[in-house]
């Protein structure tokens, strides 16, 4: 290879501990496949500095726009995002070069006194900045014959868990993947079953982007593609297509998960993919929750078709009226 192997690749990342941990994992993998050093370039996004609740600012790429602009300007060579933060429309000037193997997609409960959700008292105060989580948590509590209060919160992992340790909240709900990547999986008092709460589309997955056009980008893109996990990519493509077809943003109360189908006996069918979706009112009083199962998509187009099929079924059941956002 040329002397360029000594020139560091510039990897753009948000400044949070979680983002730095995620980007560090990718950086080490990129160093192995390219033979080049990787330096992290910290970039502040609008979502990092805004004090508005996520439900107010979400849905417009607030955590990724600054990184994408730096890529387009050539200030960085690649960027790492939490895939659930990416808008569903991919800019032509940027390439989603890799979707590495997915971490645990579930939500995690961090509760006082080691409690599970079922063990929380009636009227428990649970912190979350996600309308999706609030909607399904309220519905879950109702199924258990109790009520909860969901409290909008912002901040990094330490800040959110601190609300529990300080006694301000009974529990908070976070992504299990984030806790695991920060080495804090043991903080979770319960990993929430996806039968109770479906995650955000793409939750647990990372996205590695690079520029589509500049000189040398084709070689970099080909190298980054070695990090891609085909199964994770088709799964998140189906989930994100569902979100796009509902014309819902990241802040809408939409959950989705594509996983290998498991029958009633608990046997996993490796050649069948199950896509589940849910849309609900924020108070959980009304949910539209459907699923579809088909062959594991062999291509991007097959994954898109699966997502579109389920979205149309959900719209036919009234999903559009539950989101508070424009739908088809």
**Tokens read off for 43:** 């970039």
pLDDT at 251: 60
What is the band of 79 on the pLDDT scale with cuts at 50, 70, 90? very high
Q: Name the architecture of domain 233-319.
A: 2-Layer Sandwich (3.30)
E strand or H helix that includes residue 29: helix 17-34
The boundaries of every CATH 3.30.160.40 domain in the chain are 233-319
288 by Cβ neighbours in 10 Å (0-12 / 13-18 / 19+) ranks as buried
**Tokens read off for 74:** 């050539």
| CATH code, residues 3-100+205-228 | 3.40.190.10
Mean per-residue pLDDT over the chain, rounded: 88
| Cα dihedral 95/97/100/105 (nearest 10) | 10
Return the residue matching tokens 């417009």: 60
pLDDT in tens, 283-326: 999 999 999 998 999 899 999 999 999 999 999 999 888 775 43
Maximum Cα interatomic distance, the chain, rounded to a whole number of Å: 66
Count of H helices and E strands in the chain? 11, 13
Other beta carbons within 10 angstroms of residue 115's beta carbon come to 17
- Percent of the chain past pLDDT 70, that is, above it, reads 85
pLDDT in tens, 152-182: 998 889 999 999 999 999 999 999 999 999 9
Pairing between β-strand 78-82 and β-strand 124-127 as defined by DSSP bridges: unpaired
pLDDT at 134: 95
Instruction: Mark whether 85 is an active-site residue.
Output: yes
Length of the chain: 328
The boundaries of every CATH 3.40.190.10 domain in the chain are 3-100+205-228, 107-191
Pairing between β-strand 190-191 and β-strand 94-98 as defined by DSSP bridges: unpaired
Contact 256, 243 (CB under 8 A): yes
Q: How far apart are CA 150 and CA 128, in angstroms?
A: 7
pLDDT in tens, 232-247: 999 999 999 999 999 7
Q: Is the pLDDT of residue 231 over 90?
A: yes
Kindly state which CATH superfamily the domain 107-191 is placed in.
Periplasmic binding protein-like II (3.40.190.10)
Q: Is the pLDDT of residue 209 over 60?
A: yes
106 by Cβ neighbours in 10 Å (0-12 / 13-18 / 19+) ranks as buried
CA of residue 92 relative to chain centroid, distance: 22
Contact 218, 95 (CB under 8 A): no
* Catalytic residue of the set 48, 77, 85, 104: 85
pLDDT at 19: 92
DSSP class per residue in 67-84: HHHHHHTTS-SEEEEEGG
């Amino acid at each position: 290879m040329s002397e360029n192997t000594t020139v560091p690749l510039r990897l753009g990342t948000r400044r949070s501990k979680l983002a730095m941990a995620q980007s560090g994992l990718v950086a080490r993998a990129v160093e192995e496949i390219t033979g080049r050093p990787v330096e992290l370039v910290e970039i502040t996004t609008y979502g990092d500095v805004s004090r508005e609740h996520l439900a107010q600012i979400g849905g417009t790429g607030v955590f990724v726009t600054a990184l994408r602009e730096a890529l387009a300007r050539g200030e960085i060579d690649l960027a790492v995002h939490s895939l659930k933060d990416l808008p569903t429309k991919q800019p032509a000037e940027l390439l989603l070069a890799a979707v590495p193997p997915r971490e645990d997609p579930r939500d995690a409960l961090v509760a006082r006194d080691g409690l599970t959700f079922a063990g929380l008292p009636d009227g428990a105060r649970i912190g979350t900045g996600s309308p999706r989580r609030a909607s399904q948590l309220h519905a879950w509590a109702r199924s258990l014959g109790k009520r909860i209060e969901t409290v909008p919160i912002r901040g990094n992992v330490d800040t959110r868990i601190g609300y529990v340790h300080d006694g301000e909240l009974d529990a908070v709900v976070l992504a299990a993947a984030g806790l695991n990547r920060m080495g804090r999986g043991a903080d979770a008092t319960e990993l929430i079953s996806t039968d109770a709460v479906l995650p955000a589309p793409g939750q647990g997955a990372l996205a590695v982007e690079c520029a589509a056009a500049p000189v040398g980008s084709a070689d970099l893109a080909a190298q980054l593609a070695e990090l891609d996990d085909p199964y994770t990519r088709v799964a998140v493509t189906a989930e994100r297509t569902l979100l796009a077809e509902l014309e819902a943003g990241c802040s809408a109360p939409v959950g989705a998960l594509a996983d290998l189908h498991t029958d009633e006996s608990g046997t996993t069918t490796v050649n069948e993919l199950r896509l589940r979706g849910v849309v609900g009112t924020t108070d959980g009083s009304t949910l539209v929750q459907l699923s579809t199962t088909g062959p594991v998509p062999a291509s991007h187009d097959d994954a898109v078709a699966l997502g579109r099929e389920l979205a149309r079924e959900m719209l036919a059941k009234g999903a559009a009226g539950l989101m508070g956002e424009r739908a088809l």
